[in-house]
Amino acid sequence: MAPALAAQAEEPVNLEEQVATVLELVSDTFYTYVLAVLLVGAGIYLTVRTRGVQVRHWGTMLASVVRSRTGARGGISSFQAFAVGLAARVGIGNIAGVAIAVVAGGPGALFWMWVVAVIGMATGFTESTLAQVFKERGRDFTFRGGPAYYMKNGLGSRLLGSVFAVMCIVSVGGTVVMVQTNALAGVVSATVPSVQPWMVGVCLVLLTGPVVLGGLRSVARVTEWLSPVMALIYVVVALVVIVANIAEVPGVLVSVVRGAFGADQALFGTAGGMVAALVNGVRRGLFSNEAGLGTVPNAAGTATVSHPVRQGLIQGFGVFVDTVVVCTATGLLILLATDTYQPGNDSLVGAVLTQQAVVEHLGSWTTWPMVVLIFVLVFSTVLGCYSYSQVNVNFLGGQHRAEQAFGVLLTAAAFTGCVLTLPVVWALTDIALGLLGLLNLVVIVWLAPWALGALRDFEAQRRQGRDPVFSGHANPYLPGDVVEGVWEPEEPGAEVPLR
């Protein structure tokens, strides 16, 4: 027995595995007992208070997206802000995150991602509307807005806004970027073993650096066309697979619903049971669509629009596109690949699982196109993360040199993510984003009367047959006045409609 004990004592301790285990335990506990409850509770509350804005104004959402490409008056257009938000949303969360959720929680995790998305549309609407209401005018005809700004201008606490800004820079500009690039390095290395992760990191640095050093407008110009095109290509690939396997789709959807409520043990993921499906679905759904995290409002607040509600509706629609469209496409791709995916089997996980599912459906020729698609999605997401973080760098007083310094740090994070292990990166990101969401959700519920007032103002003007134009001063629908120099009436003496 003594030699055996000695042998055990001599076994090397893998510090990275121990750190990953602790981080995952903290993350699991936090999401299960705190963030999931608050996220769902806030979403239901805001859905009720807005009287189901995501349903009542569905047509207005679509119309707002269509007309959002114009009207920026030298600033950042509503569509550009939407595209930046879409760039950060549609990425590894849709490809690797869904795969991780399905492996750990089974098919039922996809159901809970849908639930998070539907109620999250009201949350996304509220936080993005608040970002517009409390935004400030920046340099060169551009605006700056987001949670830090509505904490400062809505709650009257610059200190709380500064705390959020620092947290956002660290989590979004650091850990989220590392998750994206880590998954990309895994896909490339699995496809071409001779390509080392650090090589992928170097390529990303060479591509990302020149764009982010050009500032927010440079990022907006690239993401305006890159993000929608890549998302569309990915959805088209998924539709081809779904149509080719249309006879199996009803059965897959039944397994999603049954798995969500733990009705069939054969459908359990590696973690097992209904709770695993719920927790993994909520966690990965939140990471993917970002509703309530306080990230997307940083892009929403930069747009030049005639009324805050328009941008709120557009970003609420972004939640739908991200989860109900893109994440569902990924989920069906995986669940229809019966040779690649088996419930309870974690031999393949993350973006590699999604890539191999496409290969099973369409053939080995799709291996490299999928690598390229994932590469571009990661690249666009990194650009979106930069825009979110840059807004908060500006809030903390950083100007051009600070923005460039942060651009260098972000490209360094992109490289670092390529060489770290997957469990550590995901756990760090979950915890960082979870803390960000915890603070933001409490604040937007507290400031909800401002978003609700803006919504009533918007609806009142539409009932009068007018194209809504917002005034932030002496507006009877608002609890008070907003920042000067942003939402004054378009014409001297212009009035807002009375109740």
Give pLDDT tens digits for 21-59: 787 788 777 877 788 788 888 999 999 999 999 999 988
DSSP SS3 for 76: strand
For the segment 250-260, what is each residue's pLDDT rounded down to a tens digit?
A: 988 988 888 88
User: Tokens standing for 149?
Assistant: 């700004």
DSSP SS3 for 470: coil
- Given a cut of 70, whether residue 264 has pLDDT beyond it is no
Percentage of the chain beyond pLDDT 90 is 17
In this structure, the number of other CB atoms found within 10 A of the CB of residue 240 comes to 13
* Alpha-carbon span 416 to 411, nearest angstrom: 9
Burial class of residue 255 (count of CB atoms within 10 Å of its CB; 0-12, 13-18, 19+): buried
Higher pLDDT, 227 or 161: 161
pLDDT band at 444 (very low <50, low <70, confident <90, very high): very high
Average pLDDT of the residues in 340-349? 73
Percentage of the chain beyond pLDDT 70 is 80
Higher pLDDT, 211 or 466: 466
* Alpha-carbon span 383 to 429, nearest angstrom: 17
For the segment 185-204, what is each residue's pLDDT rounded down to a tens digit?
A: 877 877 777 778 878 888 87
Query: Amino acid identity, residue 243?
Result: V
In this structure, the number of other CB atoms found within 10 A of the CB of residue 59 comes to 8
Least confident residue range of 76-80, 317-321, 328-332: 76-80
**Cβ atoms of 144 and 304 closer than 8 Å:** no
Average pLDDT of the residues in 454-477? 91
**Cβ atoms of 80 and 68 closer than 8 Å:** no
Q: What is the mean pLDDT of the chain?
A: 79
pLDDT band at 88 (very low <50, low <70, confident <90, very high): low
* Alpha-carbon span 367 to 335, nearest angstrom: 19
| pLDDT given at position 494 | 42
Q: Please tell us whether the domain made up of 16-463 is placed in CATH 1.20.1740.
A: yes
Average pLDDT of the residues in 11-20? 65
Average pLDDT of the residues in 115-133? 92
User: Tokens standing for 20?
Assistant: 């990953």
H helical segments located in 141-176? 147-153, 158-170
Q: What angle do CA 243, 246, 249 make, to 5 degrees?
A: 125
**Cβ atoms of 283 and 125 closer than 8 Å:** no
Closest CA to 99 of 326, 348, 392: 348
Give the bridge partners for 303, in sequence order: 76
Helix (H) or strand (E) holding 375: helix 367-395
| pLDDT given at position 215 | 55
Query: Amino acid identity, residue 375?
Result: F
Query: Amino acid identity, residue 91?
Result: G
* Alpha-carbon span 46 to 54, nearest angstrom: 10
Residue 299 sits at φ, ψ, to 5 deg, of -80, -40
Average pLDDT of the residues in 88-111? 77
